Structure formats: structure tokens, C-alpha cells
Amino acid sequence: MASGQPRQGVEPTRFPFSFEVYPPRNADLVESVHETVHQLAAAKPEFIAVTYGAGGSSRDRSLELVRYIAENTSVPPMAHLTCVGSSAAEANRLVREFLDAGIRQFLAIRGDTPEGALDGEDYLGDLRSATELVQLIHRVQLEREPYTEVDEPQWGGAAVRLSQRREPVRIGVAAFPNGHPQSRNRAQDIDVLLAKQAQGANLAITQLFFDADDYVSFVTDARAAGVEFPITPGIMPVTSLARLQRIVELTDEPMPVTLAEQLEAAADHERAARDSGREPEVTQYAVGVTHAIALGRAVLDGGAPGIHLYAFNQHRPVLDVLRGLGAYDE
């Protein structure tokens, strides 16, 4: 039995967890992504989030995958929405389209700078921040469903009354334990979270980090400032040195030196084993999964309300992390 996996016959230790996938980049990958979704759904996560990119075709594929999850699994999907390149009318239409499809969970984010954008170029649309996007989601839901009809049993028949209580929407936002690339300091990052909370956000999911203390200290400071909603740590099992280098490049996170050294040593071992025609005793995959398990255990011990796992459209690494944490046993 692999190290860190729960013992057979032991009831899994459940804590809330969720996954994140991205839509297929082309039609040839649709079947593969659907298989990944079903493998992840079998673990019974709280939700499966679907990323969303600027540009018409990517938006269409995101909506298609969100609908697929809603219609073909028992797991609720969470739809990403961004401010990049959308007019207010387009964003309103898209939110309404998701709501009409039965989607009630969203992740509202400002969005990444498009590739090829020039320094100083204004790539945002009419919505200038995730805070405005949170407002928009609530406004569209209010316009769609200004009231609901509540059954009121009456003597000799039945009646209904109108209620302003509507089906709730869950709106997540991003949090940055090591700081947003454009923020001046942690206080500014927390002020942004407070503004999102004031507009109706009720969940935060962090960007990647590699040290549990970064998450725990951020949450401690956020709570002291008045942030009340759950702040869920986002974790990705980084199963190759090349992927780690790419993540650091994209996120501006500091390079986790120890993890990088372990992945590099494993890569060298894999090459040597391959050249000699034998199986490697240490692999980058094992290093990445082991690190993610340790990180997950540390943040849970530090009070995290659950874990959000970035699957990178591969089910095996994130499910192995859950097994290592004792939360999933097929």
C-alpha cells in the first residue's frame, strides 16, 4: 500500500473538498475531459469549478462543460466569470444564461491579462473589478426572480403568497495569501476581500501557495479585519519540475526552493533509471503528490474549512492527494 493512503476498512475522514477543471481546448479532448469529470464526481466533492477565459469559443466551451456537469453528474458545478473583455450587457447575458441553466454557484474574478496585451493596455470591459461582478450576479438574480410563490394551505383549499426570498446563489472570489501581483501589501488584499464581502460574496478560494504558514497567517489577518466568509485553500499537486516553473511564471509566486530541489532530483533519478532500463524508485509524481498531501494536512490542522484542488484536468493526482489525507477510499 502506498505511503499516506488510508487503511482498508477505515472510514474516510470527510472534510469539504472541491475540484477545478478547465474546458477542453478542442473537440478531440471533450471525451477525455468528460471522463475526468466523472472520475472526480465519484469522490463526491462539494462542487466542480470550471474555469473561464476571454474569447467567444472559450466561453462557449465553459458553458457547455458546466451544463454537462449539471446534467450528467450529481455534483453542482461552479461557473467562473471574469471581467476581461466583456461589456456590461454581455456579462449580464452570460450570467442570466448560467442562471437559466440552473447554475447557482459562481467564482467571480477580475481575470488574467490576455496574452499579447501591451503594458498599460486596458483589457478590461465595462466591469472593472470582481467586486462589480459580484454585484452584477446578485442584480441579475434579483431581476430574474423578484419574488417566489410560497404555498399557504388554507381552509377548504390552497393559496400562495409572494415572498422576496429567492433561491440563493453562492458567489466565490479569489484570495491571495502571498499578495495579488498588483497590490501594494496584504492590507490592500484584505480590504478588497472586505469589499467583495460587502457586495454579497460568501466564499473565497485562494490562489496557489506552497507553504501552509502563508495561508494560515493570511486567514488570521483577514479574520482580524472582519472577513467572515470561508477562505478555502487552493492546492495543486505539482508533479513535474517543468510544471512548477510554469506555475511560478504565471502566478508570480516565489519559487518553493525545497520542492523545486526535490522535483529536480527526482527528474535526474528518472532519467538515470530510464537510461539504465529500470524503474525509478523516486518519481516527480510521487514528490508532487506527497508535498500536496503534507500541505493539505497542515492547512486543515491550521483551521482550513476544506480544500479546493486544482486538477489540471487530471483526476489521478488530486484523488491520490485525497487518499493520502484519508478523505477518499474507493
Average pLDDT over residues 3-15: 52
Judge whether 140 and 200 are in contact, CB under 8 Å: no
> Strand, helix or coil at 78?
strand
The pLDDT, as a whole number, for residue 162 is 42
> Which residue in 179, 226, 172 sits closest to 204, CA to CA?
172
Pairing state between β 148-154 and 157-163: antiparallel
Q: Which of these ranges, 14-28, 41-55, 277-291, has the smallest mean pLDDT? A: 41-55
The pLDDT, as a whole number, for residue 109 is 87
Rounded distance, CA 107 to CA 100, Å?
17
Judge whether 306 and 15 are in contact, CB under 8 Å: yes
Three-class secondary structure assignment of 162-180: EECCCCCCEEEEEECCCCC
Question: What are 195-253's pLDDT values in tens digits?
Answer: 999 999 999 999 999 999 999 999 999 999 999 999 999 999 999 999 999 999 888 88
Q: Mind listing the domains of the chain with CATH numbers? A: 17-236+306-313 (3.20.20.220)
> Which residue in 128, 57, 69 sits closest to 98, CA to CA?
69
Rounded distance, CA 312 to CA 147, Å?
40
The pLDDT, as a whole number, for residue 52 is 80
Q: Residue 7 is placed in which grid cell?
A: 487503511
- State the DSSP code for 27: G
